[in-house]
Structures are given as structure tokens and as C-alpha cells.
Chain A
Amino acid sequence: MPTPESTTRVLLRLRHWARPALPRIALGGLTALGASLLALAVPQVLRVIVNGPLLTAGSQRGVVLGALVVLGLGVLEAFLVWCRRALLLTPGTGVERDMRTDLFRHLLDLPVEFHDRWSGGQLLSRIMSDLGTIRRWTVFGLTMLAVSSATLVVGIGLMLATSWVLGLVYLVGAVPMIWLGFRFREDYKVVARQARDQAGDLATTVEESVHGIRVLKAFGRGDDALDDFVRQADDLRTTEVHKARTLSRVSFALGAIPEAILAVALGFGVVLTSRGELSVGALVAFFATAAVVNGPVERLGMLLAMTLDAKAATDRYLQVMDTASTVRDPQDPVALPAADPAGSRVELSGVHFVHPRGGSDILAGIDLVLEPGETMALVGLTGSGKTTLLQLVPRLYDVTAGSVRIDGVDVRDLTRADLRSAVSIAFEDPILFSASVRENVLLGTDLTGPAADELVREALDVARAGFAYDLPDGLDTVIGEEGLSLSGGQRQRVALARAIAVRPRVLLLDDPLSALDVTTETAVTLRLRRMLTGTTTLVVAHRPSTVALADRVAVLEDGRITGVGRHEDLLSSHPHYRYVLTALSALDDAQPDELAEVRP
């Protein structure tokens, strides 16, 4: 969390987005002020009518004229209300939209490391409900705060002018109300925050119970999950009831005090009038004014609360906006030299990587060279950092020390766009989007038309993803979360096709065939090898069959590359490699296939 800043300072930062809308906001505020002053004028007219034509002059013309003035003022007030709405509408919603798209673009720019730390729900609540809160405040809260304060000041002034005794009575009553309304916020905020957090936790439990439904069913833990959930939901209920109790205290005050003021004023007023110190018209005007001013008084606490909410929302918004991207484009980007038909050379030298949240080096000095066009397998135990190493190349993470070079250029000297069009990756956990198979495969290219169709066909063929043609709508079938769900093996093959379709200079495959059966894997491997000529490839491998794809193998052990060579050579010379691929640590010269057969 950033250091706490004053509410005004935080809200002032909204100027950046609100600037184009400022004139309209100011004008809107003025019309709103006009409308409430008009509303305050009506009781004065009432006073004049009662004291003049009605009680003393008995003039019919005076009464009609007075009613017409009231009518005119009323119509004008309605017109001003409309003007305020019209003036504030566009700026309010426009500011919200601009802030929303700015945040979205910023999130797209922030590195994967940021997204690892932030849960989707936290970001979602910022971009939806927090921005909604800010919009409501700019459209309604800000102007109403100004208008209510003005109405209050003018109204109390009028009441004091009408009768200073009654005005004083009102003032004495209004001050504690405003204070209470504001004070209540402080108590309420704590409970409201607690309720929001508990509701968030409840939503997390729901989400997990749905995503983990297979596990819960497999172990028959549905009832335990229900018990946990009900306990949490009951906690939330308790907090909500507690919140209502806090709210009820202020409802009591806000309900009783204004009416009590009027009761006291009635007593005083009648006494004053009977003594002739106050006209009946003034008494009437006082009550009519009080009816107009009571609204803003009751509202003020709520408006201050809204302002505090808007401040909290702005804080939350700025917290993300102020997070600078740690993976940025360089000041003077270098262009990647033209591709050699033989392929690109990838060089990792002295590469270190530590997770931002601390801990020991995951990668502690990697030196590795991939020759142009070479396919290299990366082998290591689970959790040894293979996936991390792969993601350093397209700068999904940045090295903490050392460098990654493609054809001699440090990846940090390239724009991310250039770099990522030269490098393509297939993740172990294939992420597909809710779009057609075709769109998913073409995700990394800008091709359209027949050339794109040809590319899709070829990529699907290499990845042996022919099943896509048999889907209900063929290649136009929508897949992903909102579409048809594919099996793990199918998703992996579509993701592989997508990585291939980019025709990258450097291809990174993270255990791309783990969900395929042996026969399919062999077929894919054969085609891939043919296709990969001229593409430098680094492939994470867990089993010998995937290693078959590679020309050479690198062994990742304790954060370092401890061996590079051909599979057969490493198998006989490198104990850790033998252990990783065969689970046998003893040096013996058995046949590889027997080595791989694990018979405890």
C-alpha cells in the first residue's frame, strides 16, 4: 500500500481524466445550485402571499400572481434539473470509460510477474465496481456535495433572517446531525469493509468448489465443503446484521432529530407569533424552508460517505495505475537483424533469476547457446526452473542478472512487439481463448484470407489436430471457457498449432506433448522435426520420447546447466540426466529401453 494521502489530494488526481469534462462539470454545478436556490425561493413567496394578499390585503389578484410566480419558479427548477442531468451525463460516463480503458491497457502492459501476485477478482472489482463508484461520485456526489452545502448555508441564512430564534433552534439541531452522519461513516466503514472482505472470501470458496468439483466428488468431500461454506456464509450474515445495527443507530438519529427540531420550532414559533414577534407568514415560510433544507442536511452525511468511498476507490485504482511496468520497451530500441534462413542463434549468458517475492535463485548462472536451426531439449527435475527459463526469452519475465541474446542482440534492447513476433511459445498448460479454432490458431499472426487458411491447415496437420475439422462447426467451432470444452490432449495440440503458425525464428515448447498418447506423439514428433528446419527450438522434455525431437540436450540441475550433449552420450556420462530420464541412479550399461522401464 502506498503512504496514506489526504482525501483531497487523492481525488484531485482524477483531474487527469476529468480535464476535458471540467467546464461541463462546473456548469452543471451552477445549474444545480440555481435549482436548489429556486426551491428555497418558494417558501419566501409563500410568506409574502400569506402576509400580504391573504391575511392583510385580501387581494385575489395578489394570490393568483403569487401562485403564478410559484409555478414559474417550479418550472424553472425542473428545467434546471434537466440541464444539470444533460450537462453532467457525458463527462461522467466518458471519464469512467477513459479510466477503464486506461487501466485495461496498463494491465496488458504490466508483466506476468504482476499478474502472478494479483488475483483476477481484485483487478475485476477495481475495473468494474470501483470505477462505477467514481463515476457516481463525479456525476452525482461532487455536485450534490457543493449544492447541498450551498443550500444549507443559504437556507439557514434565510431561516435566521425570517426569525433568528427559530433559525438558531434549527442550527443547534442540524450540527449534531451532520456530525453524526459523518461520524457514523467511520464506524460503518469498518463493518462494511469487513462484510465486503467476507463476501469476497465466500466468492472464493464458491469458485474453488466449482473448479475443484472433480476432487470434491472423487473424495466425497461435498458435505465438508458445504459445512465450510455455510459457516462462512453464516459469519457473513452475522456481520451484515451487525452492519444493520450500526446503520439503525444513525437511522434513528436522522429520523428523529429533524422532526424533533421542527417540534421545538413549532412550540417556539407559536409562542413568538402569539406575542406578535413573528408574522404568521414568516412562521409558514420557516416550516416550508425547513422542509427544503432537511433534505440536504440528511444527505450531507451520505454525501461525505460517498466522497470517502470515492477516495477509497480512487486509491485502489491508482494503486494499480501507479505500478510501473518492470518489463519495458527500451529508450532506443534496436532492430533485430534480418533472419538467417538457417535460423537464429540464442545465447543465455550468466542468467540469474530470483522471484520478486524473494527466495533463493531459481536460476543461478545459466550459460547456454542454441546454434541456428538447432532443436535443443531442456531436461531437469520437476520444479527445477525449466518453465521459468523458457519464459525469459520472450521477456514474460526479465532476468535478474546476465543476458539473453538473439542473433547477438540482448532481448531487452528490442521492443517487446519485435521480440515476441520473432519468438513463439507453447505453454504446458494450454491457454485457449473463447474464439473459433481458426482464430485461436491464428492468434500470433496477422495473416488473413487464403494464406491464413493454408497456414491453419498446415499447423493443424503438423500438430495432428485433425479432430478440429470434425467439431460441430469445424474450424469455426467456438472453444474455450465459453465454448466447447476440449480434452487436455486436444487443447495441447491446438496450442501447439498456434505456436507453429507464427513461423517464429525461435520456438519454445514447454513439454508440448505430455497429454498425448505414444502413437500420436510419435506422429507429431516426426512432422515437427521436418517442419522445424530453420527454426531454433528449445523444448522442455520430461520423457525420452520428447527428447527424440532434439538434436542436443541440456541438463538443468540446481539452477545451472550441468551438461550439454547428445542423448546417448549424456545417458552414459551424466548421472543426473540418467536419473531424470530413467529414475535409475546406479551406473550400469543396460539398454535404454530397459533403463526406462520402471519395475519396482
Chain B
Amino acid sequence: MSVLTSEAFGVETTREESRRIRRRSLGLLRSLLRPVAGAAWATAALVVGSQLAAVAGPALVAYGIDQALPALTAGDAQPITLATAAYLAAALLGGLLTAATVRASARVSQTMLLDLRRRVFRHTQRLSLEFHETYTSGRIISRQTSDVDALRELLDGGVTTLASGVLAMLFTAVSLVLLDWRSGLVLLIAVVPGVVLTRWFQVRSQVQYRKQRTAAARLIVRFVETMTGIRAVQAFRREPQVGGVYGGLAEDYRETNARSIRLNGVFDTGLTLIGNVTVAAVLLVGGLRALDGALEVGVLVAAVLYARRFFNPLQQIGMFYNSFQSATAALEKVASLLAEEPTVPEPLHPARLVHARGDVRFEDVEFGYGTGPTVLPQIDLHVPAGQSIALVGETGAGKSTIAKLLARFYDVRAGAVRLDGLDLREIDPVDLRRAVVMVTQEAYLFSGSVGANIALGKPEATPAEIEAAARAVGVHDLIVSMPDGYATEVDKRGVRLSAGQRQLVSFARAFLADPALLILDEATSSLDVPGEALVQLGLQTLLAGRTSVVIAHRLSTVMGSDRVLVIEGGRIVEDGSPDALVAAGGRFADLHTDWQRSLRRST
């Protein structure tokens, strides 16, 4: 939580830095606008047109009373017919233009949003795991959902509101000046307190807005975490404490909400007051002049109507300012995500590797995470095609790191990892992913059918192939016993699978993918012994003549491999066949003794 808040709100940035961030955010907005520039200008033209039509109303009323009325009294019906017809036309045109604006602006904003969504999604998929692990999933998700929504809110209503609001005020003022410049002067004087009030509101509401977002984010984070961990909350009787903390956060949120409503109330009241005083002033000035005959009654009425109308859009403009603030803040975060460089870049000149054999080499490999300490000081290793090797060592020794380098989840700091003689960094990503598949401890299932989850290993697979893969890992009988067989949904709405069953499904996925090099990182930890045996049996047949790298805590898994590497402190300290290592009496032999003892239960 502290991480979230400090990252999102509290970090002090230098002025230069914040300007740079701002520029990047506006640059993103521009690049989104570029492809739709033509349509955007057309929308703006529609807004101008509809506002012109709207502003014609009071002028026509004034004309009707001052010109057409005397004319009609004098027997000339043409002016009033004209005025009525013109007003009707303006009404119709205004309505049509407003409707067209709504459509056009939706098209523009939705095209921009689709573009932004696609960019962010593609970019997060390209970013390396290293980034995902430090940035945390919650933040990436909120970048792609609530931050995009903030821009959506701005585009949806904000821009047209602003444009029509500003134009309405401008046209109203111009019309009034044209009609009677003295009344216009009164209005212009009234603008001064209006501007001061609006500016005050902007500054205060911006501060308030940020506080409100922070309070809401805290509330959401606490809620999500509690609901995700509801089992632990209930099992450890945390309900009163958790409820108390949440109640406090809810009160904070209420307080910030109340403050911003209060602020809005002052703004609202102020605008009403300024507007009403202006109406009275226009009436007084105009009325006195009308007495002298210097002003016609119709013009006075129009002036009063204009004065009343003038301040209406200010409130909407205030609201636009809020959504603009929130959208630029959100875009700043999205832009900084898009500016992240993948630490595992795609090759500029990819080398094809259509039929990989699975010959693996580590040459003088040095590696550490990010700018952190070196984890693997020097690894030299050759795994001939077809060999099955097992990595053994304590937690944190570097086994998983070696596996991740092999799958190119990370790139080496020095040296090279080669597959069939090619540097992994040069291989076409499509070929690499076909040749190398890694199965990890977390068996993640996507929402959808269990069949579709297996097919992830090979999207073009036939149902028969999917079933064969499921049979090979022994999960076929389980799937057939589910309500809809392979079409059974495996999410919240569907069947809940146990941890072991999920691992079996993810194994079936790997079977279907049929890679030249298979990496298993603790992929069998939740399986029961028969399940593991079945998977191994399947692997032996499937991977006959293929390369495999297995990390497992269970020595039963390790003993079946061709070769064992014992890793300690990021170095290979023992290397040989399991039997040879046991016979040699080193660390692996000790592990083996521990294991034997645990099997015999000699306590």
C-alpha cells in the first residue's frame, strides 16, 4: 500500500522532471490525435455551427418584438413570418448539428481509445517479465483500465462540452455587444469576478481531486486485498480489525467527497450570484436607457436573456477542467508505461530456426536481475540435444534463474546462451517459442473452456490432438467427468480445479506444444505421486530424443534424469549422472541420504 501511494502521489519530482513528464503525456495525446485529425476538425466545425444556431434565438426574439411587432401592427406580416421561419430553421439546424456532433465526437474518441488500448496492451505483452515482476500486476491492470477510462471520460463529454461552452459564452457576449454595446460592457465587467471565481475553483478542485483519487485508490486496494484473502481473514478472525480499518478509509473518502461537493457548492452559489447580479445590472442600465428612448424594449429583453445565459456554461467548463486534470494525470502514467523499453528486445535481424534440435550451450554467462547484484557469476555448460538434465540446489541458489535465461525471459549480462549454435537473442521469437517451452509452478488458467486452455499450447490443434495431450498426462478422465467435458468452463462461473489438477492441465498444454527443449520449473510440486509418475511417463515417451531441463525438489523426479547439476551460489558445483554423483559422495549424495531417510521415516 505504501508503495502504491508513494509511487502514485507522493513522489517529489523536480520541476524539469515534471515538465518532461507533462510533455510526454501531451505528446502521447498528439500522436493519438494525428490519425483522426481530419475528423476532429470536422467535429469542431459542427460544434461551431450548432452554437451559432443556438445563439440566434434571443436575437430573433428581439427582432420579433422590436421590428416585426410594429410591422405587423402596421399590416406587414412578412417580418414576423420570416422571423418565425428563421427561428424554426435555426432550431432544426441546431438540433441536427448537435446530433451530428454527438456522433462524430463518439467516432473520433472511440477510434482514439481503441488505438490507445491496443498500444498499451501490445506494449505490456512485449515488456519483459522483469518489468512485470517489479511493476506489479495491480498497477499494470489499473493503467489499462481506470487510466484509459479517465481519458475516455474526457473525450466522451469533456471536449465537446468545453468547445460548446466556450463558444456559447463567446457568441453570447458577441451577440450582446452587437445588440447593445453598453449592456455588453456590463457583462464584461461581470466576467472579472467570474474568472477569479473559476480560477479559484480550478486550483482548489485540482488539489481536492487528487486527494479524492488517493482516498478512492486506498479504499479499492484494501477492498480487493481483503476479498482476495477472505479465507485467511476469516480463519484468523481479522474481521473486526479489517472492518475497522476499512471503516476509517471509507470515512476519509466521505470526507474528501464532502469537501469537493462543498467546493462545488461555493462555486455554484458564486456563479448564481454573479449571474443574478448581472441580470439586475443589465436590467437597471438598460431600463433607464429605455426610459430615455435610447434602447428598445425588445433589445432590453434580449440583453437580459443573454446575460442569464452567459454564465450557464461556466459550471460545465469547471467540470471539464476536472476531467481534463484527471485525464492528463492518467495519461502521464500511461505514457510512462509506454516509454518503458523491453529489457528483452526482439532481434533486429531475426535468424530462423524452423527445426530445432535442442542443443544448448551457456558460454561464459554472467547474470543479475536489473542493476542488482550478480546472481550467476559464470556458467559454462553444454547440454547435447536429447539429454535430460536436472538442476538441484537450495532455494535461491539460482536454478530458476538458469531456467529463465534458457526460455529468454531475461537476457544475460555477459556471454551468450545458444540453442543449436544460435544466440537466443538473434532467434526469431516465433521460432524460439515453438522450440522452447517452460512450465512453471503457477499453473495459470485463462477463463474459457478447459479444452481451450490446453489448446493454448498449439492454437491450431484438432480436438483429437487436445485429447491425446490430456490422455498423455492422465487428465483426460477427469475432464470427461466434468459437466461439459472439454467445453467445461474453468473460471469463477465454472468448475474449480485443485492445484494439482491445474498443473496437469498446464502439462497437457506443454505436451501439445511439442517443443524441442522443455523446461520444468517446480512444475510437479502440487501433483500427487501417481500424477507425477504419469506425467513423467508421458514426458519420457514424448521427449524421447529431446532436451529437457527439470527443477524439482523431489529426488524421485531427479533420479530419472540423464544428468544432474548441483547449483550453489550461482555456480555449478557438481555435474554428473545421478548414480555417479551419489557414489562420489558430495552435496548431491547428502541430499540423497536425506531423501532416503525421509522415505524410511527413521525418525
The segment from B170-178, B328-336, B463-471, B548-556 found at the interface with A is: B548-556
B114:A234 contact, CB within 8 angstroms: yes
B394:A511 contact, CB within 8 angstroms: no
Closest to A140 in B: B261
B374 contacts chain A at the CB level, 8 A cutoff = no
Partner of A220, one of B96, B98, B266, B433: B433
Q: How far is the CA of A387 from the CA of B554 in the complex (A)?
A: 22
B529 contacts chain A at the CB level, 8 A cutoff = yes
Q: How far is the CA of A271 from the CA of B69 in the complex (A)?
A: 8
Residues of A within 8 A of B509 (CB): 215, 219
B265:A248 contact, CB within 8 angstroms: no
Q: How many residues of A contact B (CB 8 A)?
A: 184
A215:B506 contact, CB within 8 angstroms: yes
Residues of B within 8 A of A547 (CB): 601
B234:A420 contact, CB within 8 angstroms: yes
B138:A482 contact, CB within 8 angstroms: yes
Residues of A within 8 A of B276 (CB): 70-71, 73-75, 77-78
Residues of B within 8 A of A119 (CB): 492
B121:A209 contact, CB within 8 angstroms: yes
**Nearest-Cβ distance from residue A165 to partner chain B, whole angstroms:** 15
B268:A85 contact, CB within 8 angstroms: yes
Per-residue 0/1 for A98-109: is the Cβ within 8 Å of any B Cβ (1 yes, 0 no)? 001100110111
Residues of A within 8 A of B234 (CB): 108, 112, 394, 396, 416, 420
Residues of A within 8 A of B532 (CB): 583, 598
Known: A215-B506, A394-B235, A424-B235. A115 touches B247 (CB 8 A): no
Residues of A within 8 A of B237 (CB): 416-417, 420-421, 444
Q: Which of A574-600 contact B (CB under 8 A)?
A: 579-583, 592-593, 596-600
B395 contacts chain A at the CB level, 8 A cutoff = yes
Q: How far is the CA of A253 from the CA of B91 in the complex (A)?
A: 10
**Nearest-Cβ distance from residue A260 to partner chain B, whole angstroms:** 4
Per-residue 0/1 for B125-150: is the Cβ within 8 Å of any A Cβ (1 yes, 0 no)? 11001001100111011001100000
Q: How far is the CA of A96 from the CA of B596 in the complex (A)?
A: 62
A154 contacts chain B at the CB level, 8 A cutoff = no
Residues of B within 8 A of A525 (CB): 598
B113:A237 contact, CB within 8 angstroms: yes
A229:B235 contact, CB within 8 angstroms: no
B121:A444 contact, CB within 8 angstroms: no
Partner of B99, one of A96, A255, A520: A255
The segment from A303-311, A366-374, A538-546 found at the interface with B is: A538-546
B272:A78 contact, CB within 8 angstroms: yes
B246:A270 contact, CB within 8 angstroms: no
Counted as pairs of residues, one from A and one from B, with CB atoms less than 8 Å apart, the total is 523
Q: Which of B237-290 contact A (CB under 8 A)?
A: 237-239, 242-243, 246-247, 250-251, 253-254, 257-258, 261-262, 264-266, 268-270, 272-273, 275-277, 279-281, 283-284, 287-288, 290
A338 contacts chain B at the CB level, 8 A cutoff = no
A89:B258 contact, CB within 8 angstroms: yes
B440:A478 contact, CB within 8 angstroms: no
Partner of A280, one of B145, B297, B534: B297
A49 contacts chain B at the CB level, 8 A cutoff = yes
Q: How far is the CA of A117 from the CA of B305 in the complex (A)?
A: 58
User: Which secondary structure dominates where chain A touches chain B?
Assistant: helix
Residues of B within 8 A of A124 (CB): 220, 223-224, 227
**Nearest-Cβ distance from residue A250 to partner chain B, whole angstroms:** 9
Residues of B within 8 A of A520 (CB): 394-395
A548:B258 contact, CB within 8 angstroms: no
Q: How far is the CA of A431 from the CA of B231 in the complex (A)?
A: 8
B231:A226 contact, CB within 8 angstroms: no
Q: How far is the CA of A254 from the CA of B96 in the complex (A)?
A: 10
Q: How far is the CA of A66 from the CA of B457 in the complex (A)?
A: 83
Closest to B531 in A: A382
B456:A431 contact, CB within 8 angstroms: no
B533:A598 contact, CB within 8 angstroms: yes
B322 contacts chain A at the CB level, 8 A cutoff = no
A420:B235 contact, CB within 8 angstroms: yes
Residues of A within 8 A of B189 (CB): none
A90:B501 contact, CB within 8 angstroms: no
B184 contacts chain A at the CB level, 8 A cutoff = no
B31 contacts chain A at the CB level, 8 A cutoff = no
Residues of B within 8 A of A226 (CB): 118, 121-122, 125
Residues of B within 8 A of A394 (CB): 234-235
Q: How far is the CA of A579 from the CA of B529 in the complex (A)?
A: 8
B154 contacts chain A at the CB level, 8 A cutoff = no
Closest to A230 in B: B118
Residues of A within 8 A of B254 (CB): 93-94, 96-97
Closest to B558 in A: A518
A54 contacts chain B at the CB level, 8 A cutoff = yes
The segment from B78-86, B197-205, B417-425 found at the interface with A is: B78-86
The segment from B17-25, B101-109, B347-355, B360-368 found at the interface with A is: B101-109
B243:A288 contact, CB within 8 angstroms: no
Q: How far is the CA of A58 from the CA of B239 in the complex (A)?
A: 77
Partner of B560, one of A381, A581, A599: A599
Partner of B258, one of A93, A244, A287, A427: A93
B291 contacts chain A at the CB level, 8 A cutoff = yes
B432:A220 contact, CB within 8 angstroms: yes
**Nearest-Cβ distance from residue A99 to partner chain B, whole angstroms:** 10
A255:B129 contact, CB within 8 angstroms: no
B125:A108 contact, CB within 8 angstroms: no
B64:A270 contact, CB within 8 angstroms: yes
A215:B99 contact, CB within 8 angstroms: no
Q: How far is the CA of A262 from the CA of B54 in the complex (A)?
A: 12
B405 contacts chain A at the CB level, 8 A cutoff = no
Known: A120-B227, A444-B237, A593-B600. A273 touches B69 (CB 8 A): yes
Residues of A within 8 A of B100 (CB): 248
Q: How far is the CA of A519 from the CA of B590 in the complex (A)?
A: 9
Besides A46-B304, A218-B437, A252-B99, 19 new A-B residue pairs in contact (Cβ under 8 A), listed by A number: A81-B269, A101-B250, A204-B447, A217-B407, A220-B432, A226-B122, A226-B125, A245-B106, A252-B96, A263-B90, A383-B497, A383-B501, A431-B229, A443-B238, A487-B396, A490-B395, A583-B529, A583-B534, A597-B556
> What 10 A-B pairs are tightest by C-beta distance, nearest first?
A220-B433, A74-B276, A256-B95, A382-B500, A244-B106, A85-B265, A259-B91, A263-B87, A267-B84, A67-B284
Residue contacts A-B, CB under 8 angstroms, 11 given: A64-B284, A93-B258, A116-B492, A123-B227, A215-B509, A256-B96, A264-B84, A271-B80, A434-B1, A519-B591, A580-B530
